[in-house]
Amino acid sequence: MYLLLPDERRREIGHKQFETYFKFGFVRNPWDRVVSLYERTEALQLRDKMTFDEFVDWIQYSSATCVHSSPHRYQLDWFVDPNGNVLADFIGKFERLDEDWAFVAKKLGVSENLPHQRANPRARHYTEYYTPRTRDIIANKFKVDIDRFGYEFAG
């Protein structure tokens, strides 16, 4: 007979319960994500303080330990445990949001459409923001996400 201590038992029950949940999330093309972060109008608004090239340089030399760490983290970080094991059952893509949300909604047994809180204020495609230098900086900075989720710099 194996006797679990109360703390261990709680962890085991928690782990078993966690495994019963459908865990999902969404990722976005890193180049598009950086433009979105630059253009955002709430919280960390930087487009009025620096050019896009300066923003990319800031992203390049900043780290996940910054006060505003979210822009510098891999999206994959949100889906893995400390050992790098993917915990999510499904990772959808922003670029096919309607299709991927339909899959999630069906899995969850809900019929609601995903609400869109705000329209995209950009007048130009994300590729128009980049020079070859800044495109390569983001490719190197977010190589983990680009490789894992199969992203390309494309129109």
Give tens-digit pLDDT for 48-91. Answer: 778 899 989 988 877 655 545 456 678 898 888 888 889 899 99
Is the confidence at residue 5, as pLDDT, over 60? no
Nearest to 30 by CA among 84, 87, 77: 77
Per-residue pLDDT, averaged over 39-43, amounts to 66
- pTM, rounded to two decimals: 0.80
* CA distance linking residue 23 with residue 79, whole number of Å: 9
Is the confidence at residue 1, as pLDDT, over 50? no
* Amino acid identity for residue 18 in this structure: F
Is the confidence at residue 131, as pLDDT, over 90? yes
* CA distance linking residue 153 with residue 138, whole number of Å: 10
* CA distance linking residue 140 with residue 134, whole number of Å: 10
Per-residue pLDDT, averaged over 107-114, amounts to 86
% of residues, the chain, pLDDT over 70: 77
Split at pLDDT 50, 70, 90, the class of 10 is low
Check residues 101 and 61 and name the one with the higher pLDDT: 101
Kindly state the greatest CA–CA separation across the chain.
66
